[in-house]
Amino acid sequence: MNGQVVRARLPVVGIAASAGGPAALAVILPDIAGLRAAVLVVQHLHPKFVDEFVAWMTRVSALTVEVAAGAMRLRPGVVYLAVPGRHLKLGAGGRTVVLDDEPASLHRPSADELFHSLARHAGADGIGVVLTGLGDDGASGLLALRRAGGTTLVQDAGSSAVHGMPAAVTLLGAADRQVALADMGRAIRVAVRARLG
């Protein structure tokens, strides 16, 4: 690819969260009904809670929810969930890529892996969101996405259960904006509309 950005066929939103993430997602997902973008979600989660998490996400989301598997062609209005132990990435041609690779950090799935793939394959059509959580997963990937022309949003300290991940993004200079949780759905919708013209 010689470092060229391959444009996605539709806007792609990547959302990453850890501690406090399910509650934050419960606020955002009902607020993005009718979103004309694909949404890829990395939530750090113990494997024994996957089925409950998927069922719960299906109940609270205004969008269709699917567990990412193999190379699925992305569709607007669908939320694709990463499963524990496997990375979720955006691949060429607007497809998900699910890999068992070793973690780039302590986490698998890794937010950094997701956001680096958005930088490479979506570029300016990518929107990255880091929500509440411990550690710094997602910071370097969000910086790559910002440098590729994507929009990068982080949950603000006042509305985060744990501000570690958003703070790491901000410290690295990778956030375009800090957004209160109550306003994050609207911020995502605005970013998607800007890409659709």
Catalytic residues: 18, 44, 137
What token pair was written down for 47?
Answer: 């494997």
Q: State the pLDDT at residue 2.
A: 42
CA distance 168 to 30: 27
CA distance 191 to 149: 12
CA distance 57 to 36: 19
The answer, yes or no, to whether the previous bond of 47 is cis (omega within 30 of 0) is no
Q: State the pLDDT at residue 37.
A: 97
Q: Which residues contact 46 (CB under 8 A, 6 or more apart)?
A: 84
Q: State the pLDDT at residue 125.
A: 96
Q: State the pLDDT at residue 9.
A: 63
Q: What is the pTM of this model?
A: 0.92
Rounded to a whole number of angstroms, the CA Rg of the chain reads 15
In a structure prediction context, what are the per-residue pLDDT tens digits for the chain, which is 197 residues long?
344 444 446 999 999 999 999 999 999 999 999 999 999 999 988 888 888 999 999 999 999 999 998 889 999 999 999 988 889 999 998 888 887 766 555 677 999 999 999 999 999 999 999 999 999 999 999 999 999 999 999 999 999 999 999 999 999 999 999 999 999 999 999 999 999 98
Return the CATH fold of 12-170. Rossmann fold (3.40.50)
Amino acid sitting at position 166: P
Contact 137, 110 (CB under 8 A): yes
User: Kind of pairing, strands 151-155 and 177-179?
Assistant: parallel
CA distance 186 to 189: 5
